[in-house]
Structure 1
Amino acid sequence: MERLPTSPGERPEETNASHESAYTATATISEQGIVTEWSEDARRLLGYLPSEVVGMSAAQLLADGVDDAAPRIAPGQERWSGTVALRHRDGRRLERGLLAHRWTSTGGTAKWFVVSAVAVAGEPGAPWGERLNEWAFTQSPCFLAVFDEDVRLVRANAGMEHTLSLTEAEMRGLRLPEIAPDPVSDETERKMRLALETGEPQYLDAFIRPTGASAEYGWATSLAPLRDPDGRVRAVCLAAHDRTGIEVERQQLLLSNVSGARIGTTMDMARTAEELADATVPRLADFAVVDMLEPPPRVDEPSSGPLTGPVTVRRTAVRSVLEGSPESRIAVGETAVHPALSPPVESLAAGRGAVYGTADPAVARWVAEDPGATWISESGTHSMMMVPLRAGGITLGLAVFGRHQRGEPFQPEDLWLAEELTTRAAVSIHNARRFTREHTTTMTLQRSLLPQTLPHQTALEIASRYLPAGTDAGVGGDWFDVIPLSGARVALVVGDVVGHGIRAAATMGRLRTAVRTLADVDLPPDELLTHLDDLIIHLSADEADRDGAGETAGGIGTTCLYVVYDPVTRSCTVARAGHPPPAVVSPEGSVYLLDVPPGPPLGLGGLPFETVEVELPEDSILALYTDGLLQPRDHDIDDALDSMFVALSQPASTLETVCDRVLTALLTHPPDDDVALLVARTRALHSDKVVVLDLSSDPSVVAQARRHATDQLTAWGLEEASFVTELLVSELVTNAIRYGQPPIQLRLIHEDSTLICEVSDASNTAPHMRRARIFDEGGRGLLLVAQLAQRWGTRHAPIGKTIWAEQSLVGY
Structure 2
Amino acid sequence: MGDDHDPERRATDRSPPESALRVNPELDALFDQSPIAMVFLDRGLRARRTNAAFRRLIGLPDEAIIGRRPSEVNGPSIKYWPATQPMYWRASDGKAWNERTLAEQVMDRGVPVVNVHMEWTSAGNRRVLSWSAYRVTENGRVLGALSCLLDITDHAQAITRAHARLELLERAGSQIGATLDIHHTARELADLAVPELADRISVDLLDQVLQGENLPRDGARTLQFRRVAVRDSAVSAKIRYEVGDLITLPVTSPHAVALLRGKPLLARNLAEVRGRFSGTPAVAEAFHARGVHTLMVVPLVARGVTLGVASFFRAEHPEPYGEADVRLVGDLASRAAVCIDNARLYTREHNTAVTLQRSLLPQRIPQVPGLRIAHRYEPASRTAEVGGDWFDVIPLDTGHVALVVGDVTGHSIHAAALMGQLRTTTSALARLGCPPEEIMRRLGDVAAEHDDEIGATCLYALYDPESRRCRLTSAGHLPPALRHPGGGVEFIDVPGGMMLGVGPSRYPATDAELPEDSVLALYTDGLVEHPGQDIGTGMSHLARTLTAGSTRSLDQLCDSVLAGLGADARDDIALLLARTTAATVC
Q: TM-score range with shorter-chain normalisation?
A: 0.7 to 0.9
Question: Residue 656 of structure 1 aligns with which residue?
Answer: 555
CA contact (8 A) 2:293 2:314 kept: yes
Deviation at residue 445 of structure 1 after TM alignment:
0.9
Q: Distance in 2 between matches of 1:571 and 1:412?
A: 79
Residue equivalent to 2:98? 110
Q: Which moved more, 1:625-634 or 1:569-578?
A: 625-634
Q: Is the contact between residue 297 and residue 394 of structure 1 (CA under 8 Å) also seen in structure 2?
A: no
Q: Distance in 2 between matches of 1:392 and 1:444?
A: 26
* Cα pair 2:40 2:49 within 8 Å, conserved: no
The Cα of 1:484 is off from its aligned counterpart by 1.1
CA RMSD of aligned residues (A): 4.1
Letter in 2 for 1:77: K
Q: Is the 8 A contact 1:358 1:381 kept in 2?
A: no
How far does the alpha carbon of each residue in 1:305-351 deviate from its partner, in whole angstroms, 9 at most, with x for none? Answer: 8897543434443333334323x444444444444444333322221
> Do the aligned partners of 1:570 and 1:616 also contact (CA within 8 Å) in 2?
yes
- The match for 1:708 is none
CA distance in 1: counterparts of 2:38 and 2:544, whole angstroms: 93
Distance 1:259 1:682, change over 3 A: same
Identify the residue that residue 203 of structure 2 maps to in structure 1. 290
| 2:401 matches 1:490 | yes
2:165 to 245, 251, 256: 251
Q: Deviations over 1:648-681 (max 9, x none)?
A: 1233311112211222221232x11111111111
The answer on whether the counterparts of 1:338 and 1:370 sit within 8 Å (CA) in structure 2 is: no
Q: 1:641 to 1:332 in 2, by over 3 A?
A: closer
Q: Among 645, 662, 665, which residue is 2:564 paired with?
A: 665
**1:346 equivalenced with 2:354 (yes/no):** no
Q: Which ranges of structure 2 fall in alignment gaps of 5 or more residues?
A: 1-16, 52-61, 82-86, 104-154
Q: Are 2:379 and 1:393 equivalent residues in the alignment? A: no
The residue aligned with 1:313 is 225
The residue aligned with 2:362 is 451
Q: Post-superposition shift, 1:76?
A: 7.8
Q: Could you tell me how far 1:28 is from its partner in structure 2?
A: 4.1
Distance 1:505 1:334, change over 3 A: closer
Kindly indicate whether the alpha-carbon contact (under 8 Å) linking 1:525 and 1:562 is maintained by their aligned counterparts in 2: yes
The answer to whether residue 314 in structure 2 is matched with residue 436 in structure 1 is no
- Give the AA of the match of 1:73: G
What CA distance in whole angstroms lies between the structure 2 residues aligned with 1:652 and 1:372? 61
Q: Which position in structure 1 is the counterpart of 2:391? A: 480
Go from structure 1 to structure 2 and tell me whether the alpha carbon gap of 1:488 and 1:284 turns closer, same or farther (over 3 Å shift).
same
User: Which SS does the other structure have where 2:406 is aligned?
Assistant: strand
Residue 234 of structure 2 corresponds to which residue in structure 1? 322
* 1:299, distance to aligned residue in structure 2 (A): 3.6
Q: Distance in 2 between matches of 1:439 and 1:254?
A: 31
Aligned: 1:422 with 2:333: yes
Q: Does the 8 Å contact 1:469/1:674 carry over to 2?
A: yes
SS in structure 2 opposite 1:680? strand
Does the 8 A contact of 1:623 with 1:680 survive in 2?
yes
C-alpha contact 2:302 2:338 (8 A) present in aligned 1: yes
CA distance in 1, matches of 2:194, 2:510: 67
Conserved in 1, the CA contact under 8 Å of 2:425 and 2:443? Answer: yes
In structure 1, the gaps of 5 or more residues are 1-6, 30-34, 46-57, 80-100, 115-240, 541-549, 686-750, 754-812
Aligned to 1:598: 496
Distance across 1 between alignment mates of 2:506 and 2:413: 30
Aligned to 1:193: none
Kindly tell me: are residues 20 and 558 of structure 1, through their superposed partners in 2, closer, same or farther at Cα, counting changes over 3 Å?
same
* Per-residue deviation, 1:18: 10
What residue number does 1:78 align with?
80
Aligned to 2:484: 586
The 5 Å alignment of 1:423-572 reads 423-537=334-448, 539-540=449-450, 550-552=451-453, 555=454, 557-572=455-470
> Aligned pair 1:36/2:36, yes or no?
no
Question: Helix, strand or coil: the match of 1:36?
Answer: coil
What code does the residue aligned with 2:197 have? L
Structure 1 residue 591: Cα displacement: 1.1
Instruction: Note the C-alpha offset of 1:608.
Output: 1.6
Quick check: 2:253–2:279 contact (8 Å CA) kept in 1?
no
Q: Which residue does 1:91 correspond to in 2?
A: none
Q: Give the structure, 1 or 2, with the largest relative contact order (CA under 8 Å, sep 6 or more).
A: 2
Query: Would you say the 8 A contact 1:659–1:677 is kept in 2?
Result: yes
The C-alpha deviation readout for 1:343-370, integer Å capped at 9, x for no partner, is: 3333222213232134666851543656
In the alignment, the residues of structure 2 paired with residue 428 and residue 245 of structure 1 have an alpha-carbon distance, to the nearest angstrom, of: 29
Instruction: Give the letter for the 2:559 counterpart.
Output: D
Read off the aligned partner of 2:229 and give its amino acid letter: A
Partners in 2 of 1:246 and 1:76 — Cα distance? 24
**Which structure: larger Rg?**
1
Deviates more, 1:306-315 or 1:652-661: 306-315
The aligned residue for residue 192 of structure 2 is 279
**What CA distance in whole angstroms lies between the structure 1 residues aligned with 2:460 and 2:498?**
14
Cα offset, 1:388, TM superposition: 1.6
- Percent sequence identity over aligned pairs: 37
Q: 1:535 Cα deviation (Å)?
A: 2.6
- Counterpart CA distance in 1 for 2:554 and 2:487 is 14
- SS of aligned partner of 1:374: helix
Alpha-carbon deviations, 1:535-562, whole Å to 9, x = none? 322x23xxxxxxxxx213xx4x311111
Contact 2:216 2:223 in 1 (8 A): no
Offset at 1:475?
1.5
Question: Any idea what the Cα deviations from partners look like across 1:169-212, whole Å, max 9, x if unmatched?
Answer: xxxxxxxxxxxxxxxxxxxxxxxxxxxxxxxxxxxxxxxxxxxx
What is the total number of aligned residue pairs between the two structures?
A: 495
Secondary structure of 1:409's aligned partner? coil
CA distance in 1, matches of 2:336, 2:90: 47
